[in-house]
Structure 1
Amino acid sequence: MPLIGKRNLVLLFVIKLLVIGLFVSGCQEGTNKSPVSALFTGLDVNQATVDLTTLGDDVAKHNIVGTVVSQNTGEKLANIAVNLYYESQLAATTKTTSDGQFYFAKVPSGLFDLTFFSPDNTYASATYILRVLDNGTTAPANPEVKMAALNPGQIKVQAKIEGEVMMAGTGTKLANINIELESNGTLISTALTGSLGQFSFSNLGTGTFIIRAGKASNYEESQQPVTIRDDGVVSPRYTIISLTAKPIENFSITGYVRSQDKQPIASLKVEIYDDQALTKSSYAPTYTTGEGKFFFQGLKEARMYFLKANSGSATNMSEAFPVRVMENGSTSPAVSEILVIRDDKIKTHEVSGKIFDAFTGGPLEYVAVKIGNGSNSLTDKNGKYTFSDLLPGTYKIEISKFGYESMDASFQLVQNVDGTAKTIPATMSYPLVHNMKTGYGSIAGRYVDEITGAGISDLVVRAYKWGLVTKTAWRVVGSSTVQVTETDWQWSDDVLLTSRTSNTGIDGIPDLKGSFKLTHLAPGHYLVYITTDLTKPISIGEYRGGYFSWEVPNKVATFKTEIRGLQVDAGKTTYWTNYEQEYK
């Protein structure tokens, strides 16, 4: 071997020994101060450190929160190494989250230096100086650190369009407004505004987009162009769309018919006239509900109308009742109340029931029970409540007691040919669930024979999660391939809870045949599926006119019914029945 070759080998061996020696000597147990850690975090191997926790909780009691974004595209950067320095000494390290946020807890007031490093060297390192004030705020407030790309041409633009929709003139934020995103005349995504009118579209490339708002709503449609530049900058950065209310084309009048003692009159014919003489009518009559309420909808003009309640089996015809409909859709008076004189000898009925603890079956005393005509009752020591002087009709019932989930339900009062009355459901007993778990709710209900009102026992009741799902895919639209996005409801086929409708209760416990309860459910929407046996449904695709299918349960041979979108609220029991519940 030539002498020069041997020398090179010896030199290479010596270099290897030096590297190993430096690595071993640089590693300190229990620290990140080694050449390897310095490589990944950007730290100086010999950098002094300070432990802020030694300052005590009364001094180190503040937080530092900020965001790291791309200077080129505005994208929030994840997995960026962040070092915090206090008085020129390293105090803490962290990495940014998936939404670009970094967080340091238990820091004192004072001046801090921060350094930022990209582990994959996509972005140039950056520094930032901020001050934590004695009151815990930072200057600058809401720090945002921008890191420049080392090779901008290699960064794929994935921008986000954000904005909100409000009512023109008032600035009121508009919820549940349909938003459509178009590119080159092709619809590529849709969204609904949130409770504060906000919307967003993510993972968008460069180009010019059109945002359309207000389709199929009570507002005139409006559109706004948005451009995403090659550097990822969105212009305008935040899109505000103002919608103008459409002119009202159909007006309505709502009111009640009551007797001289303020009792509602059900199933009474109410007519609407164009003149005070009650000779000309342009609209069909309507009838009062069980709570004495009536509606006239689809009125074409804003002007004066005259109402008349016809005579009933035990009531006289009313006088003409004037109502003015305004151009903005309001009425004067706001709610019409037509007075009729009722024969005091008319037959009314009494309704009673029991309220009990859903788990023990024991009666509940001092439960507040209210029905839609304004009547109130409190249960006695046996859990019993009673309402008198009720006319046939459909009533809403509200039940509440401190420490229990409140419940809203309804019932029908039907008069038989012989003058007696029955209720649907046949028994007016309801369970209340003890509110043992804060922030959770329940579903309760009853499945009955709709003719007799009697409950049907031993049905299998299952609860599934019912939620909004967003699907995105590439689809061929015309001659182009575009990314389309849709959001709709579908089920999750994992059974959350299973129950059965109950049999007839024993002595001392109310008859709850056909009733069921599903308790301690997190707030949200659910699908309830009822069958006559334990056969489980499977998931099938349901098409609703868009690009995607949505998962729903199939109807097994023993299927009875399913209820989609039952909403559960914290501290409340959502009550469902299969009998008629329509009340106004």
Structure 2
Amino acid sequence: MRNKTTILLSLFAVICMVIIGCSSGSNSSLSGGNWVGLSGASATVNYATLTGIITDENGQPLENVYVRILSASMVTDSAITDSTGRYQISMPSGVYTVTIQRNGYASVIEEVVLAAEEVKVYSTSISTAAAPTEPVNANIIGTVLLNATSEVLPNITVALMKDGKALATTTTTTEGKFIFQNYTTGMYSVSLSDADNKYVPTTYVIHILNDGKLSPELPKLYLSARTIEEEDTEVYYDKVTGTIYDDFSKAPLQYVKCSIKGIGDAVSDLNGKFVFDRKFLPETYDLTLERNGWTTLTTSFTIRQQKADPTKTEMVPATLTYFLSQNPETNKGAISGRIVNEITGKGIPGLIVRLYPYYYESFTNVVSETVDGKVIEREEIIDGWTLRGNPYPIVSTRTSSDTDSVASLSGSFRIEHVEPTTNERKYVVYVGVANTGLIATETVRSGFKFYVPDSNNASQVHCFDDVVVTKNITTYLHNFDLPNYDSPY
């Protein structure tokens, strides 16, 4: 009896061990590991590697190309090419669709088959996309580096914002890369920080242009390691501000990107003013000013302790005022103008000026009518100029104020790098007060919608709705007809 009991207990123990073994095996990860089923057989997930180099049509390697791989069962992964155009992705064996995307280039979609433990090389070239007729969405891809050594920084928190609103957050990869997908044109703030608080939080500005490209094209964002805690020193300069003007018209320049390496970016507002709202330790800082259509300016300023009172600081120069020169581009046009008080003849400063595209559209409408008892159909052409719904300005600026050197330029404005008009596209130039924009009125003709400038816009001072631009020529606009007035343009 004792032997039977012993045998039964031993058998029970073996069964329990098998059950426990099966249970623990079912919780094992399938990712790159083994698991044991009831049969005791070992199943292995064998990964393959997809790698290659992405180039342009001239064979030059392209950085920041987004490579995405997707299976029919929605297994997916992605990578971003480095400065040599190289990428690498590891996935289980199978059939995948590979999508290659880069801002300003035509996408490529291919099917690849990955065998177990295979290292498959898939390299391809992508071609520059045709110039878009409307604003194009884009991916915001960049690299985060250490300011002192330019080494890439992984695990940095990257937050995307626009107009003060948080849009998305991500973390940099082991290569220091980050991506935000499919965003519309405009100015975006990218804030960098880290969980361990080893680096000074920094904000940069990235601009998605109407053609879907980024400015800067290959964003490299720098973080500085914390060396001196700002709260540990009483000697610092609080908030750096400055103003930027167009050198030609003396009008304030909006949307100028102002960069201080290791500190971050700021963007000039409608009055040409930029602000770095943080504490600056005593040292010399390099400042770069950039805007499409104007020559980039690199300058510097110094924060130093005052000789009379070393506990206080001062900035040299004391006022940061800069004038950017236009950078003419072959085969592009320009628009200059002046808005004056038609009674006094004096220029009106501080008005907002915005440029909008105006499109010609044509529709074919089939009209039925009865003639002599018979129904006859004929085609009717419905055409006209339209703002295409909620209009989006290509660029904004302000009319200039009087200056000591050029008082006659008050009320002047200038817009550079304008695409020449065609039979299908011309421009509307809106001039208004405060931070306002063009309002479109919807009109319906035979069921087709057209959008034209609203003449009842209370904020509008003047609207030029038939502006033609010719390559290498400046189009001059004014809201007056004064005798003996000699245009400075």
TM-score for both structures, normalised by structure 2:
0.29
Rg comparison, structure with higher value: 1
